[in-house]
Structure 1
Amino acid sequence: MPGRHVTDHQMRLFMKHRLTDPVPVAAARAGFSTATGYRLAQDPRPPSEKRAPRERRRPDPLAEVFEAEVVPLLEVSPGLRPIAIFEELLRRHPELGAGIRRTLERRIRQWRALNGPEREVIFRQTQEPGRMGLSDFTDMAGLGITVAGVPLPHRLYHFRLAFSGFEHAHVVLQGESFVALAAGLQNALWALGGAPREHRTDSLSAAFRNLAPEVEEDWTTRYAALCAHYGMVVSRNNRGLAHENGAIEAPHGHLKRAVEDALLLRGSRTFDTVADYRAFIDTLVGRHNARNRKRIDAERAVLQPLPSRRAEDGEETMVTVTSSGGFMLRRVFYTVPSRLIGHRLRVRLHDDRLEVFLGASHLMTLPRGRGYGDNRRAHVVDYRHVIHALRAKPGALPGLVYRDQLFPRDAYRRLYDAAMVALPERAACKLVVGALAIAHERGCEADLAALIDASLDAGSMPDLRELRARFAPDPEALPHVTVTMTPLSAYDALTAASCEGGRP
């Protein structure tokens, strides 16, 4: 037909019919005119072989520089980006213009395909049930979580089974460490009810950062012992190759997006306590595991049984209680009862708490502190530990290094600020220390804080005597105990009866 080119298929069809039919019939069966048939009969080559090769429509802008300058750069620095080469060429040859960028990128891509270095090959793996569990940490700072109005910098320890996709997430407050890894891993295994044959991590590089070689070796030994306790073989991916841990690296993103969606549906990123936030994460991960219940149950059947008890996941150290009524540990000062001054205590560190022992006796559990700022120093203070000494020296309150951490509630901090403005310093210190003493001795910290807030909001200053009277024990609530004394003559009767019975 006029205006349409003859294809190779039409040409082959024409030549086939040309063997048995005249040119007009063969041309008609091939779908073109008789004149075209006679013309093609003179040259039986397919049309594709008759086309002249396409020549350049404009001069090659890289003809003089590609082989002379670009190729040497690619050979010396194979990882050099095309955009860097483009900018270097424009610096050397401004006359080339910005229009060569796409041409240069295409030419570099083609050169690398023919002459470039071999590239890394990713080998897809077939996962076996019960074989591999993976652990890693992921930073959650970008989600803007707050606890009681204070930003919560934290990470998630993330455990996952490669076959079934079982997941466990644990909120980590103190950064990546062996303590956080050990606690999260054991929580995951005991929630799962079994242990895989192999445990893979990302070389624990974050846990060993900035550690002395002997400490790093100790932690490596402890990690190997932890895995051996559960019968798991230790494996690590090569440093810097995250795709080797891909069975958990990709789920990191899925988990973060799921948390973000849940926060948007919740309508708030603020939680009252860390425990509430942990419950929120546990609920979210539990829903994911419920969707994979069949695969998880199938893999759980082939897991190794758990040992009879958990391994110790804390880190122990010894501290001495100083005359300040506490001890310093990891740049954080912790107060303890003053009767422990001078004693050496055994402290077991966990990610979120400290277990304090005197010998083998457990004394108390303290929340673990975390320092911020340049010096990263912090204080964990319980006013009950020092209030008896502070009552004897109330003037020490204004210059106390941990004064801001001493107040258990904002109401007491407000009382201190208002009293320092309205009263002489000595009277203000006595008022604040007296209020803290009442809160401790009468067990009315919350009620007293509400009363202080009400007084300050009304523009008046609480009176210490009125506070003592208000929270004094109610006489009517005290039980009346009547003690009846036995007369001494009763003892004479007992003595006489004893003698009559033959006893001396």
Structure 2
Amino acid sequence: MPGRHVTDHQARLFMKLRRDHPIDVAAAKAGMSRATGYCISEDPTPPSQKKGPRGRRRPDPLEAIFDSEVVPLLRTAPGLRPVAIFEELLRRHPELSSGIRRTLERRIRSWRALHGEEQEVIFRQSHEPGRMGLSDFTNMGAAGVTVLGQPLPHLLYHFRLPWSGFEHAHVILGGESFVALAEGLQNALWSVGGAPAFHRSDSLSAAFRNLDAEARTDLTKRYDGLCAHYRMTPTRNNKGVAHENGSIESAHGHLKNAIRDALLMRGSADFEDLGAYRAFIDEIVGRHNAARGKRIEAERAYLQELPERRTTDYEEVIVTVTSAGGFTLRKVFYTVPSRLIGHRLRVRLYDERLELFVGGTHLLNLPRGRGHPDGKHDQVVNYHHVIHSLRKKPMALLHLVYRDKLFPRGEYRRAFEALTARLPERQACKATVELLALAHERNCEVALAEDLAALLDVGDLPDLAVLRRKFSPDPASLPVVTVRATSLNSYEDLLGAGTDTGAYA
């Protein structure tokens, strides 16, 4: 073929075909021209042995400086990039052409192959069924997921059995922590129906961050206790050596690509609530596991049986409710019913919620808040907890620290802004507090918000009297029903009557 060199294989094939075919036929079958066939017939020496060493056609621009300048740089700083050396040579020798960059890169690559430092070797491992389970966290910020239009910063806890490929993913709203690991790991183990002999995670450096030595020791003991509950031997890869957990690090990329594709096919990355997004993730992971169903079923026979119940997957903290009607925990202020002021509460801290107890009695659950990365505190406020006191002091709303978090919906905030703009501050605050009280007392938060939106859209202010009539009746105007207790003698009379008539005979 024109422009292509004849190989030794083609020459041998031509000579073999030449025995039974004319030169032009043998040349065509061997993929060469007729003229080349005649040349090989006259001189059957393999083409590779005919070529002499090719000499340089132009002067070597690096001959005078490579050994004297480039090699010392490579020896002194082995990690130096070729482009940095190239820029340094141009600075030292302005007469050099910028076209030598590729030549320099090839020369450096060849030098490193002969004289470079030894590199770390990755040892591929063979996996046994039921032996190893892997855990890790991966950031999902690039997915651009939103809930009701608001960005959802989150991680995915990712568990995998490398032999069968079983996967489990759990949405984590906070950072890497023992609570997140414990919850996600236990969900994964109960989902697959067994526990492997070993569990490997990363060094948990993110969970240890900002902890003192005592807290780190406690966290290590809790992690060891979690693994012991499921009879797993805990192992960790070295800090900063991600490839030691490579069987799940690579799976991160596959899972995130699948999530990205599913979001594109869905047509939107916005979800109505966190539950809908979690169901979306579960569906993707479920499809992955269904494709490996036979292998997963085979590995289940090698997994250890699960214990009778789950173990602790929360942190427990004692807090005191202050006169502000709440408590501060992990740079977040939480409101609670004011009757708890002065009480010490036992708080179970989960990744996404807080469970509050007085002694052994469960009181209520609160959504978990997160402090801001810049150190600024946050608030989790429920207006139902403070509205009775706020009605007595409506002007407190004007400069309330957590005022923006007090409004349950954006329509109430819009109403406060409109009232403040057009009424004196005292009237505006009182009207806004009464709107919140109306939503609280008559359980009409959503419907009232819709009415407020309609009024504000046309530029009107809310009329409390009209709204109170609409969302009637007023609980204070309801009749009081008195239930009189029946005398127990009437039951004795009935029993006596039954005996007289022979009903029990």
State the TM bucket, normalised to the shorter chain. Answer: 0.7 to 0.9
Measure the CA separation in 2 of the matches of 1:113 and 1:253: 31
Structure 1 residue 454, shift from structure 2 partner: 2.5
Separation in 2, partners of 1:46, 1:253: 49
In structure 2, the residue corresponding to 1:288 is in which secondary structure? helix
Distance change in 2, residues 1:332/1:484 (3 Å): closer
8 Å Cα contact 2:7/2:48 also seen in 1? no
- Most deviating of 364-373 and 134-143: 364-373
Counterpart for residue 369 of structure 1: 369
Question: Which deviations, in whole Å up to 9, do the C-alpha atoms of 1:304-339 show, x marking residues without a partner?
Answer: 111111110111111111111000111110000111
Give the equivalent residue in structure 2 for 1:211: 211
Which residue of structure 2 lines up, in the alignment, with residue 184 of structure 1?
A: 184
Q: Counterpart of 1:264 in structure 2: which amino acid? A: L
Corresponding residue for residue 266 of structure 1: 266
Fraction of identical pairs, as percent: 65
Aligned residues: 463
Q: Helix, strand or coil: the match of 2:334? A: strand
**Please, what TM-score do these two structures have when normalized by structure 2?**
0.85
The answer to whether 1:386 aligns with 2:386 is yes
Q: Tell me the CA shift for residue 485 of structure 1.
A: 11
Q: Note closer, same or farther for the CA distance 1:104–1:485 as it changes in structure 2 (3 Å cut).
A: closer
Query: Which range is displaced more, 121-130 or 45-54?
Result: 45-54
Q: Does 1:435 align with 2:435?
A: yes
Per the alignment, residue 444 of structure 1 pairs with: 444
Find the counterpart in structure 1 of residue 472 from structure 2.
472
For residues 297-376 of structure 1, the aligned pairs below 5 Å read: 297-372=297-372, 374-376=374-376
Displacement of 1:173 in angstroms is 0.6
**Max Rg structure:** 1
Tell me by how many angstroms 1:371 deviates.
2.9
Q: Residues 59 and 391 of structure 1: is their aligned pair in 2 closer, same or farther, counting only changes over 3 Å? A: same
Counterpart of 1:61 in structure 2 is: 61
Q: 1:195 to 1:7 in 2, by over 3 A?
A: closer
Please list, as runs of the form range in 1=range in 2, the aligned pairs for 1:128-147 lying within 5 A after superposition.
128-147=128-147
When residues 32 and 152 of structure 1 are mapped into structure 2, their CA distance, relative to the original with a 3 A threshold, is: closer
The C-alpha deviation readout for 1:360-389, integer Å capped at 9, x for no partner, is 211110000123363331110000100010
Instruction: Name the amino acid aligned to 1:300.
Output: R
The amino acid that maps onto 1:276 is A
State the 1:216 CA deviation: 2.0
Structure 1 gap ranges (5+): 14-30, 495-504
Name the structure 1 match of 2:255: 255
Comparing 59-68 with 453-462, greater Cα deviation is found at: 453-462
Aligned residue in 2 for 1:21: none
SS of 1:137's partner is strand
Classify 1:291/1:49 alpha carbon distance in 2 versus 1 (closer, same or farther; 3 Å): closer
Q: Secondary structure at the match of 1:133?
A: strand
- In 1: Cα distance, 2:170 partner to 2:57 partner: 64
| Structure 2: runs of 5+ lacking an equivalent | 16-36, 494-505
Q: CA deviation at 1:279?
A: 1.1
Once the two structures are TM-superposed, the CA of residue 450 in structure 1 deviates from its matched residue by 2.0
Residue aligning to 1:20: none
Change (3 A) 1:68 1:446: same
1:199 is the counterpart of 2:183: no
**Which residue of structure 2 aligns with residue 425 of structure 1?**
425
User: 2: distance between equivalents of 1:483 and 1:51?
Assistant: 115
Cα deviation 1:395-427 (Å, max 9, x = unaligned): 111110111111111221121111112222111
After superposition, the C-alpha distances for 1:82-118 in whole angstroms (9 at most, x for unaligned) are 2222222222222222222222222222222222222
In the alignment, is residue 154 of structure 1 matched against residue 154 of structure 2?
yes
Greater CA deviation, 250-259 or 453-462? 453-462
Q: Secondary structure in 1 aligned to 2:169? A: strand
Rounded to whole Å, the distance in 2 between the matches of 1:418 and 1:434 is: 15
Aligned 8 A contact 2:438 2:444 in 1: yes
Q: How far is the alpha carbon of 1:460 from its aligned partner?
A: 2.5
**Counterpart residue number, 2:106:** 106
1:250-308 per-position Cα deviation (integer Å, ceiling 9, x unaligned):
11111111111111111111111111111111111111111111111111111011111
Hey, what does 1:127 align to over in structure 2?
127
Whether the 8 Å contact between 2:130 and 2:300 is mirrored in structure 1 is: yes
Q: Report the AA paired with residue 320 of structure 1.
A: T
Change (3 A) 1:101 1:485: closer
Q: 1:439 to 1:84 in 2, by over 3 A?
A: same
CA shift in 2, pair 1:458/1:211, >3 Å = same
**Cα shift at 1:32:** 6.2
Partner amino acid, structure 2, of 1:461: L
> C-alpha separation between the residues in 2 aligned to 1:227 and 1:341?
39
Counterpart-to-counterpart distance in 2, 1:436 and 1:61: 81
TM-score by length of 1: 0.85
Distance 1:437 1:64, change over 3 A: same
Q: Which residue of 2 aligns with 1:76?
A: 76
User: Please, which moves more after superposition, 203-212 or 376-385?
Assistant: 203-212
CA drift at 1:390: 0.3
Partner SS for 1:163: coil
Distance 1:307 1:46, change over 3 A: closer
CA contact (8 A) 2:133 2:161 kept: yes
Amino acid at match of 1:321: V
For 2:175, the equivalent position in structure 1 comes to 175
Instruction: Give the Cα separation in 2 of the matches to 1:438 and 1:258.
Output: 47
**In the alignment, residue 460 of structure 1 is paired with which amino acid?**
D
Instruction: Say whether the 8 Å CA contact 2:200–2:234 is kept in structure 1.
Output: yes
1:36 Cα offset (Å): 6.7
Q: Which residue of 1 aligns with 2:21?
A: none
In structure 2, C-alpha distance between the alignment counterparts of 1:122 and 1:277, rounded to whole Å: 37
Q: Given residue 92 of structure 2, which amino acid in structure 1 is its aligned partner?
A: R
Aligned to 1:235, the other structure's residue is in SS state strand
After TM superposition, give the deviation of residue 52 of structure 1 in Å: 4.5
Alpha-carbon shift at residue 470 of structure 1 (Å): 2.6
1:404 is matched with which residue? 404
Contact in 1 for aligned 2:136/2:201 (Cα 8 Å)? yes
